[in-house]
Amino acid sequence: MDGDESDYTIVQSVTATSSSTGGADDYDKLFTQTSIDLSNKHLEKLPNLRQSYPKINVSFNVLERFSSFLPLADALKHLDISHNALSNCDNLAALTQLVWLNAAYNHIQVLPLLDRLAHLTYLNVSSNRLSVLPNLSKLPVLKILILNDNGISTLDDLHRTMPQ
């Protein structure tokens, strides 16, 4: 079989929802799923994906860099990056279609340009290293915000930063 090692990782990690085993056509279906679960794979970086997925779960890995998700920005709506080693999320603003983000249990200190995620309805950044409340004023559809277990000392600015 031709391909690099990341091709094998993807095939082993994608869960096909089809119960038939009809050969090559079913193999192709593996790459047309709407989600991919790469959790608990000890990944240090995101493998090269053959397509964009609206839903990606890469929780419980050892990812340190957020830039791996940039090629997937146009389609990505649901991202679970919890329980990794991420400290820098500078490129988070590029994921403008995100609706759901779980970034809990990382080493994140700052969430810059969060205001570009106008579609975000769920944000979990608990158990990180945030010391300042992120600006939430331009997140008009945000319904659930989880900030516990960070270094945020005051919520005085909460009303100022929340959408009106």
Residue 127 exposure: Cα atoms within 13 Å on the Cβ side: 10
CA 4 – CA 60 distance, rounded (Å):
24
> What is the pLDDT at residue 127?
98
Indicate yes or no: pTM above 0.95: no
pLDDT per residue of the chain (164 residues) written in tens, 0 to 9: 333 334 333 333 454 444 444 444 444 455 557 899 999 999 998 888 877 899 999 999 999 988 778 888 889 999 999 999 999 888 888 999 999 999 999 999 998 888 899 999 999 999 999 998 888 888 999 999 999 999 988 776 565 566 66
> What is the pLDDT at residue 109?
94
> What is the pLDDT at residue 141?
96
Question: Which H, E and C letters describe the chain, residue by residue?
Answer: CCCCHHHHHHHHHCCCCCCCCCCHHHHHHHHHCCEEECCCCCCCCCCCCCCCCCEEECCCCCCCECHHHHHHCCCCCEEECCCCCCCECHHHHHCCCCCEEECCCCCCCCCCCHHHCCCCCEEECCCCCCCCCCCCCCCCCCCEEECCCCCCCCCCCHHHHCCC
Our count of domains for the chain comes to 1
> What is the pLDDT at residue 164?
60
> What is the pLDDT at residue 140?
93
The structure tokens 């929780």 sit at 59
CATH number at residue 113: 3.80.10.10
> What is the pLDDT at residue 129?
96
Residue 85 domain boundaries:
1-164
